[in-house]
Structure 1
Amino acid sequence: MTWEAGVRWRGGGSLVRGFAAALAVVCAVLALPPAAAAAEEDEVAGIIVVGVPGLAWTDIDEAVTPNLWGMAGSGASASMSVRTIGSWTCPEAGWLSLGAGERAGGAAPRDAQCAAQSQLQAPVEDGGGWSVDGWDALVEANESFNYGARLGSLADAVAAMAAAERTAAIEAEAAGEPVVEPDPGACVAGIGDGAALAAADTEGRISFWAPELASLGEAMAACDVVVVDPGVIVGDTADAAPDTSTDYDQLGEDDIGVGTDEPSADVDAGEIEPEPDAVRKRAAAVADAAVGEVEAALPDDWRLLVAGVSDASAPSALHPVLYSGAGVEPGELTSATTGRDGYVQLVDLTATALGAVGAEVPATVAGAPIQVLPDADHTSASAVARGIDETAASQAVISVSFVFYSVLSAIGVIAVAAAVWLLCGSDRYRGLARTVCLAVAAMPVAGVAAGIPHWWRAEHPQLAFWGIIAAGMAVLTVAASLPWTRHGARPVLVIAGAAALLIAVDQVSGATWPLHTPMGYTAQAGARFTGLGNYAFSVFAAAVILLVAFLPWKGRARVWGPVLIGVCAVVIVGAPNLGRDMGGTLTLVAAGILCCLKLWGRKLSLGALALAGGIAFAVFAIGGFLDYLRPQEDQTHLGRFVGSVLDGTAANILIRKADAAIGTIGRPLTWVSLAALIGAIVIWRKRAPIRSNEVAAAAVGLSAVAVLGAVVNDSGIAVTGFTTALGFGLLAVAVGPRTERAEPATPDPVAAAPTSKN
């Protein structure tokens, strides 16, 4: 009996032990803590959060906004995603998210200019305090968003701290122990209409509210957390300006004054050139003056947090966060929710305010306290320049993404047709079909590599991006077509190996490249700042499956080689310090096991499917539970999902992800996925069943990634599309055209008979 047959018939126990060992290794790695965070900061007497809707990095200027400019250098800073409900966030939703510590939406319609959600109403006074008018409508609106936002979590968490202090004081007095007086300022105050939404508790009531900054001292005396809305939206339209009676676009920059509605007497308004930035500059100057007033009143033991808490209109952008005050050194900011230096999220501000005054961050708050990374070389100029560059990068990615997906889908359909021709057509044009398959498979790989050069800094960013994509496709296609790489499965190993290696190196080195390409998530989307996004995962998983199936394994390496590659791949996808991809871990484990079983000649019975599903779920469950046991601020979204299962809120997450996955149907990558299904049917009917274990392993593994990945990830059909773009054509190249073996000619008995000689 051959060794392969021995593996097939007698190696069941060995395989089970191998899978068990692999499972142990994977779970041990998933249990490792994430990257070390900065040391926890000390508590302070209080914190003021100033929210400026629409504030962008480009608004911070040494001349126009001197207070913000100085704060950017003297404190710590970061770029912030304000993503809540939808692709841009209007002021009402931003203020509510700040109070909830979770993505929340407004009750008013979300239009492109944020007109409806910018008309905020002042709270009403009811004798015993203030309450938000229409609070029930806001709560009802957010119940339909499936994010589980609990409006008022900020105020409730501070109140819970006060209640705990009172309880501790009563218990200490009863026990005859020294009594620590509860903090009389354990509440949240609001100044301005928007701040009322953030300072309200879950019932819509506010401990202290005032309409103007003149009451700042009184607010600080009453509460340890003060939220300030300067009453200005930094936007580009006259509707967003504080003074809507003046058409600032028709005035010169020198003629903009607070409270004026006429140009200066010595200037002819009819001859003034329009100044498109006039509205923004005046609004930013008003916000800067408010920040200066707050800084002047800030005690030495308080902190100040200034942030652009929302967009002013569509499209969305990154917004600045500036942090200063007691104990805050110059440098960058980060948080556990982003895992990336220089980036935070809107929901992190809620946790930061709570952490600053010593309140516990409740489970309803999705953010984590922002942490300071001191930098001796940090200056105002460097902070603003970095923020502008980060914003430009994310916006440049958005500008090319839809075209990238559309082009990939279109040429992907062509590649599917080329693959069908290569396997089932005539000899004519097979060379061209093979080249098309290789080139299209190289496109998503080139998409990942495009993040290495800073293409968004070019004079024409879109041209630079497409130049990189074209060059990457050309290089990989040529590399897979050289005389020593073009035969058999070698072209597949070249392109799949490049894809897997590129993504693995990126993950180990900090997961930077896909962030600045359509293969990842832009920072302003707030979906994934680090780790492995669903698009890059699809390419990585498809590449790993092809490598496992077509590497020329010999002897026992045919078992342990694929297992070793699989373990390394799952660690890259799921480890807290690396991919952090919950759905990807589940998908790759199951797909990898099914691929290996076919490679080893086993039939995919119900038992085999149960084995793959069981091991995948075990890795997912054990890794998630170990992550959940970490402190909340150190958990990845895998551990937080386990927490949502335990507290009963997981259904909201699953419904939201299912809605997102269903919503991808009909988008560009749908068509290449549909073409792949049709192409597979045509090939199956014309080509006859698969006879090679290697080809069967690749086909099963790729199908599992495409189908299971689409089901468990919120990117839905996009996972199938990217898997198809890389894997379908490469699989066709590996199989190659079928050549019919010529049957030996049957000798003619008459012709073969000896002739008689006369």
Structure 2
Amino acid sequence: MTSGAGVRVPWGGSWVRGFAAVLAVVCAALALPPAAVAAEEDEVAGIIVFGVPGLAWTDIDASVTPHLWAMAGSGASASMSVRTIGSWTCPEAGWLSLGAGERAGGAAPRDAQCAAQSQLPAPVEDGSGWSVGGWDAIVEANESFNYGARLGSFADAVAEMALQQQAAAVEAETAGEPVVEPDPGACVAGIGDGAALAAADTEGRISFWAPELAALGDAMAACDVVIVDPGVVIGDTADEAPDTGTDYDQLGEDDIGVGTDEPSGEIDTGEIEPEADAVRARAAAAADAAVGEVEAALPEDWRLLVAGVADASAPSALHPVLYSGAGVEVGELTSATTGRDGYVQLVDLTATALASVGAEVPATVAGAAVTVLPDENRTSGDAVAQGIDETAASQSVIDVSFIFYSVLSGLGVIGVVAAVWLLCGDDRYRGLARTVCLAVASIPVAGVAAGIPHWWRADNPVLAFWALIAAGVAVLTVAASVPWMRRGARATLLVAGVCAALIAVDQVSGATWPLHTPMGYTAQAGARFTGLGNYAFSVFAAAVILLVAFLPWRGRARVWGPIAIGVCAVVIVGAPTLGRDMGGTLTLVAAGILCCLKLWGRKLSLGALALAGGIALGVFAIGGFLDYLRPQEDQTHLGRFVGSVLDGTAMNILIRKADAALGTIGRPLTWISLAALIGAIIIWRKRGPIRSDRVAAAAIGLSTVAVLGAVVNDSGIAVTGFTTALGFGLLAVAVGPRTERAQPATPDSVATAPTSGN
């Protein structure tokens, strides 16, 4: 077959063999293991998990909390996301999530001050032991949340270890081999009301429970795992806290579930952010004193894990995790669930405690055992300063996110109008329209680049962020507007190339930039600490499509050039060591194939659509299955999703993601998406069918990213909005004003003809 540019595209056996080789390369890249992170393997006699709801890095002070301060320097530490159900986690939900090893919610109503979920009832004693009152209601509430949390997984996993030890002893005795006596302490004990929720098994029963820390010795004698709630919630005085009558769920902050991508920008954090006061300092000192008691009673072969297991009120924040005891070196903590040094999640505490005592981490536990990254030079001051900085960065992103999305959407609508004028209007104001298109397309690119400098450390972080955005937009717009760049698709290639290069370099170098901008996720959201988020994916995919369509390919490069770019892009998006984006992988493969087929002059029949969909699903399935074959702690979202398909829980994930995607409709980026649809209809009516293979390829590829990406990703309409923000205006700039009336168009005319009206 001959393409529209006169290049013969080999559709025969050689093309099939070449494509099979390319597919093999992609699948192999998607199956590469992530960067090696050694799991915590050393077993100890026991571990104490000490939870303090509301504990923040700013509470750890050498004079107010000397024991916590010393732990920060003598052990390992990290900042922890406590995200469970909703945009902030109250104590009841935090303790339940610790016991489930999965995101769980409380049965009590959740208000902004966590008043109801901080009032935890004591367990009930029935003569044969203790049990959590109202356990059935808690289980029922979590079934409605649809996160698949199996409450009590923590205690059941330890009990299962005891059963396995007993079975091994019986088998050894039968075989006449030396018998290893089962560990009599294979259970989970709880001290305090909150700890009862975490220590309960799936039936709501607790092996050992006591109300006061005085029973710590008895608890350690009874069980190898002890969970302690000192009865302290580190919050603020009522007159400095937000109102307790408003459930901010009604304001739409429940944007992020597991793997969801919509930052919770709707909460006015400026109004509800509490300031530290004497009440908070006294609570922190009381918790510190309890930590001192535990340290004094801690045997040499035990470990202590202190963590801020929940928020005390809205908004959420990162909380400290301090880990010390037998075999724990000084340094940072990390986990496979975050893939980033210095960050862990609440569910990782469950897996860590299980691994410490030799219990197997069940599939129902979403976390992974933490790993210590040794740093003998790390001091208490270093650890606390780093934690405060990470918390400030995360909070600063939330402070600017909603405004950023609103501004992008508002200016994006103007950009769509400018694109329509550029393509369909008269010569008047076309130069201005072109400039507006370039400026709007530069906003998300500047948003990615804004993560390079540490803008949150400025005296006025919000002002510093917007100054970076303005500077980035100005530089890109001016660079794309110089006379030499006004010919054909040069300006489009410049902006798209800068966008794709920035994101590719970021992914290869560790994916640090979007984490601290609205183009990524805040660390406290717990959705994705590394890899490629849906927003960054949207603009990256749009940029790749534009590069494939408008680069001046010649000869056989018109075939293999787009394939090479597509393979590299898919690897960046989907590889476990890089993007880790399963929805993005599916979307980009399908969009890239359709774009290339049209670029090569193929008609997009139902067969072509089936081919694109089949190949995309094939890459997704093969890469996912190979990822699933790796150890559970090394699996990415792709492998875990395959596991959920095999164990029958995938439907819960799909329903939750679909619900999250539908929930994005009506948010700021909806309006730019709607404007793009209207603008496309107007352009079609004014200019008629697309006459160039390049333009058609770009339009089809961008449309596939915008539509399919919104369907398969839980960011929903936001994917369409970001794709429009970058792609709509740049496509209009590449096409330029209509010139068909002067001379017939050729497939390559958009890449060679000068743009008039500029």
Q: Normalized against structure 1, the TM-score is what? A: 0.92
Tell me the alpha carbon deviations over residues 442-478 of structure 1, each in whole angstroms, 9 at most, x when there is no partner: 0000000000000000000000000000000000001
Number of the residue aligned with 1:268: none
Q: CA deviation at 1:275?
A: 9.7
What SS does the corresponding residue of 1:49 show, helix, strand or coil? strand
Instruction: Tell me the CA shift for residue 482 of structure 1.
Output: 1.3
Structure 2 distance, partners of 1:183, 1:570, is 49
- Which residue number corresponds to residue 475 of structure 1? 475
Q: How many Å separate the matches in 1 of 2:638 and 2:740?
A: 52
- 1:183-219 deviations in Å (ceiling 9; x for gaps): 0000000000000000000000000000000000000
- How far apart are the structure 2 equivalents of 1:381 and 1:98? 28
**SS state at 1:144 partner:** helix
Residues 453-468 of structure 1 aligned to structure 2 (within 5 Å): 453-468=453-468
User: Does residue 130 of the first structure (1) align with residue 101 of the second (2)?
Assistant: no
Matched length: 712
Match of 1:176 in 2: 176
Per-residue deviation, 1:41 = 2.9
Residue identity opposite 2:225 in structure 1: V
Aligned to 1:91: 91
**How far is 1:657 from its partner?**
0.4
1:676-695 to structure 2, matched below 5 A, reads 676-695=676-695
Where 1:43 maps in the other structure, the secondary structure is: coil
The SS at the match of 1:485 is helix
CA distance in 2: counterparts of 1:148 and 1:610, whole angstroms: 33
Is 2:637 the counterpart of 1:637? Answer: yes
- Which residue in 1 is equivalent to 2:504? 504
- Relative distance call for 1:681 and 1:415 in structure 2 (3 A) is same
Q: Is the 8 A contact 2:7 2:555 kept in 1?
A: no
Matched, 1:332 2:322: no
1:573 maps to amino acid: V
Tell me which residue corresponds to 2:66: 66
**C-alpha separation between the residues in 2 aligned to 1:104 and 1:445?**
36
Following TM superposition, by how much is the alpha carbon of 1:15 offset from its aligned partner in structure 2, in angstroms?
A: 3.5
CA distance 1:499–1:378, shift in 2 (3 Å): same
Name the CA shift for 1:95/1:743 in 2 (closer, same or farther; >3 Å). closer
Secondary structure of the 2:92 match is helix
Q: Alpha carbons of 1:296 and 1:11: their partners in 2 closer, same or farther (altered >3 Å)?
A: same
Does 2:565 match 1:565?
A: yes
Q: Which residue of 2 aligns with 1:703?
A: 703
1:718 equivalenced with 2:718 (yes/no):
yes
State which drifts further: 193-202 or 634-643.
634-643
**Aligned to 1:305, what secondary structure does the other structure show?**
strand
Q: Distance in 1 between matches of 2:707 and 2:616?
A: 15
How much has 1:486 moved relative to structure 2?
1.8
Aligned counterpart, 1:674: 674
d(CA) in 2 for partners of 1:503 and 1:669? 21
Letter in 1 for 2:235: G
- From the superposition, tell whether residues 71 and 97 of structure 1 become closer, same or farther in structure 2 (CA, over 3 Å): same
1:18 Cα shift?
3.0
8 A contact 1:161–1:360 mirrored in 2: yes
Q: Report the alpha carbon displacement of residue 19 of structure 1 after superposing the two structures with TM.
A: 2.4
Question: 368-377 or 11-20: which moved more?
Answer: 11-20
- Mapped to 2, the partners of 1:589 and 1:682 lie a distance apart of 29
Q: Report whether the alignment pairs 1:444 with 2:444.
A: yes
Task: Report % sequence identity.
Answer: 87
Larger mean CA deviation between 632-641 and 391-400 belongs to: 632-641
Aligned-residue CA RMSD (Å): 1.6
Q: Structure 2 CA distance, aligned partners of 1:214 and 1:11?
A: 78
The aligned counterpart of 1:216 is: 216
The reply to whether residue 315 of structure 1 matches residue 310 of structure 2 is: no
The alpha-carbon distance between structure 1 residues 740 and 368, as it changes in their structure 2 partners (threshold 3 A), is closer
How has the CA–CA distance of structure 1 residues 275 and 435 changed in structure 2, closer, same or farther, with 3 Å as cutoff? closer
Q: Which consecutive residues of structure 1, in runs of 5 or more, have no partner in the other structure?
A: 242-273, 745-758
- Distance between the aligned counterparts of 2:422 and 2:6, measured in 1? 35
Match of 1:92, as an amino acid? E
Q: Distance in 1 between matches of 2:144 and 2:239?
A: 30
Q: Which amino acid aligns with 2:469?
A: I
Q: Deviations over 1:266-307 (max 9, x none)?
A: xxxxxxxx9951111000000000000000000000000000
Alignment correspondent of 2:400: 400
One-letter code of the match for 1:228?
Answer: V
Deviation, 1:30, is: 1.1
What's the CA shift for 1:11?
2.6
Give secondary structure in 2 for the equivalent of 1:726. helix
Does the 8 Å CA contact 1:8/1:602 hold for their aligned counterparts?
A: no
Q: 1:346-385 to 2 correspondence within 5 Å? A: 346-385=346-385
AA partner of residue 235 (structure 1):
G
1:106 to 2:106 alignment: yes
The structural deviation recorded for 1:236 is: 1.1
Q: Is the 8 A contact 1:41 1:371 kept in 2?
A: no
Partner of 1:227: 227
Contact 2:67 2:289 in 1 (8 A): yes
C-alpha change, 1:537 and 1:10, in structure 2 (3 Å) is closer
Paired residue type of 1:558: R
Instruction: Give the equivalent residue in structure 2 for 1:626.
Output: 626
- Quote the Cα distance in structure 2 between the aligned partners of 1:358 and 1:233: 31
Moved more, 15-24 or 437-446: 15-24
Amino acid aligned to 1:729:
G
2:87 & 2:451 partners in 1: Cα distance?
Answer: 22
The question of whether the paired residues in 1 share the 8 Å contact of 2:3 and 2:9 is answered with no
State how far apart, in whole Å, the 1-side matches of 2:183 and 2:145 are. 36
Distance 1:236 1:743, change over 3 A: closer
- Partner of residue 518, structure 1: 518
For 1:121 and 1:140, the matched residues in 2 are separated by 18
Q: What's the offset of the Cα at 1:14?
A: 3.9
Question: Structure 1 residues 161, 240: CA separation in 2 closer, same or farther (over 3 Å shift)?
Answer: farther
Please list the CA deviations of residues 488-532 of structure 1 after superposition, one character each: whole Å capped at 9, or x if unmatched: 000000000000000000000000000000000000000000000
Which amino acid in structure 1 is aligned with residue 357 of structure 2? Answer: V
Partner Cα separation in structure 1 for residue 90 and residue 12 of structure 2:
59
Q: Give the 3-state SS of the residue equivalent to 1:391 in structure 2.
A: helix
Looking at structure 2, the residues matched to 610 and 8 of structure 1 have their Cα atoms a distance apart, in angstroms, of: 23
Equivalent residue, structure 2, for 1:49: 49
Name the counterpart of 1:735. Answer: 735
1:23 aligns with 2:23: yes
CA contact (8 A) 1:332 1:342 kept: yes
* Partner of residue 579, structure 1: 579
Whether the 8 Å CA contact 1:439–1:474 is kept in 2: the answer is yes
Counterpart position of 2:756: none
- Structure 2 partner of 1:305: 305
- Offset of residue 10 of structure 1: 5.5
Counterpart of 1:285 in structure 2 is: 285
What is the CA deviation profile of residues 594-635 of structure 1, one whole-angstrom value per residue up to 9, with x for unaligned ones? 000000000001111111011100110011111111111111
Q: Distance in 1 between matches of 2:663 and 2:240?
A: 32
- Please say if residues 38 and 373 of structure 1, whose CA atoms lie closer than 8 Å, have aligned partners that are also in contact: no
| AA of the residue aligned to 1:367 | G
Residue 40 of structure 1: how far off its partner (Å): 3.5
Give the Cα–Cα distance (whole angstroms) in 2 for the partners of residues 184 and 8 of structure 1.
75
Paired position in structure 1 for 2:144: 144
Q: Which of structures 1 and 2 has the bigger CA Rg? A: 1
Other structure's SS at 1:437 match:
helix
Partner residue in 1 for 2:653: 653
Q: Deviations over 1:218-266 (max 9, x none)?
A: 000000000000000000125999xxxxxxxxxxxxxxxxxxxxxxxxx
Match of 1:255 in 2: none
2:266 counterpart residue number: none
What displacement does 1:21 show?
Answer: 1.7
Provide the C-alpha distance between the structure 2 equivalents of 1:228 and 1:34, rounded to a whole number of angstroms: 35
Paired with 1:196 and 1:416, the residues of 2 have a C-alpha distance of 56
Paired position in structure 2 for 1:614:
614
2:430 counterpart of 1:430: yes
Counterpart in 2 of 1:250?
none
Question: C-alpha distance in 2, partners of 1:218/1:50?
Answer: 16
Distance 1:240 1:175, change over 3 A: farther
Contact 2:9–2:600 under 8 Å retained in 1: no
Q: Distance in 1 between matches of 2:39 and 2:227?
A: 26
Q: Is the deviation greater in 209-218 or in 40-49?
A: 40-49
Report the alpha carbon displacement of residue 742 of structure 1 after superposing the two structures with TM. Answer: 5.0
Structure 2 unpaired stretches of 5+: 242-273, 745-758
Distance in 2 of aligned mates of 1:633 and 1:49? 21
Answer yes or no: is the 8 Å Cα contact 1:3–1:555 preserved in 2: no
Give a deviation string over 1:44-89, Cα, whole Å, max 9, x none: 0000000000000000000000000000000000000000000000
